[in-house]
Amino acid sequence: MEEAGLATITLASMRPVVEKMKPPRALYCEFPLGRPLGVPNDPEFQHRVLAEAFALLDAPNGPVIADFPDVIESDEQPLACSLPPRFDPNLPACVDEARGLRKAYDRAVASRSRTDLGRVLTADQIPDALAALHRIASGDDWKTVEIPGKNTIAVMHDIRAYYDEACLELADGPEPGGRATEAWFFEATEAGKTCLAARQAIKDAGGPFPFWFYMAPGHR
């Protein structure tokens, strides 16, 4: 694009990456991942970020990396969200939990008129995918367990979307922090614990790195 005469600016969330890639102009913003403009629902702050970024167009030459002066710490506190009680003790806890969240998920989709779920799974398949991960976590060979959707990265995306949307429908209180729903999923839900256990089981069994690593954020 630069060679065609179109000036570009990068909003960088990870300084080591942008230092290695050397884009023509980059504004490093030390914000939680997923929030490149910083504070949600704060147009004044977001316009400050954009103004700093567009100011890089005045740099005489590049590559240039500038640092946005404000730092926003990531909020790792789990979002407060009530989970449904157990209904069928004969089911794995994660499957029973996912079924119990279905009405909240459906309400969330109706209110937003959209969903992030759908890369490889439908909402009806979420319990089945969790049942497969439960089998792996319980010791079944990951190579023989048929996971709906097969691609673990896409499967995890859809499970997370299902849970996040149901959670935000049920949660009360202020705007959640940058990693609040992530912390809630992996630390408070049976599904999150099952996914981490399945991930560890696949790793321990010698599964390919991309197949298990990207099932959860690297720090987990």
The confidence score (pLDDT) of residue 46 equals 96
The confidence score (pLDDT) of residue 175 equals 57
Instruction: Give Cα 150 distance to the centre of its chain.
Output: 19
The confidence score (pLDDT) of residue 178 equals 58
Average confidence (pLDDT) over 2-8? 90
Determine the residue type at 141: D
Q: Which among 180, 80, 91, 193 is positioned nearest to 137, based on CA atoms?
A: 193
The confidence score (pLDDT) of residue 218 equals 80
Q: Can you list the alpha helix ranges (DSSP code H) found in 118-179? A: 126-137, 152-170
CA–CA dist 219, 126 (Å, integer): 24
Tell me how crowded residue 183 is: count the other CB atoms within 10 A of its CB.
Answer: 20
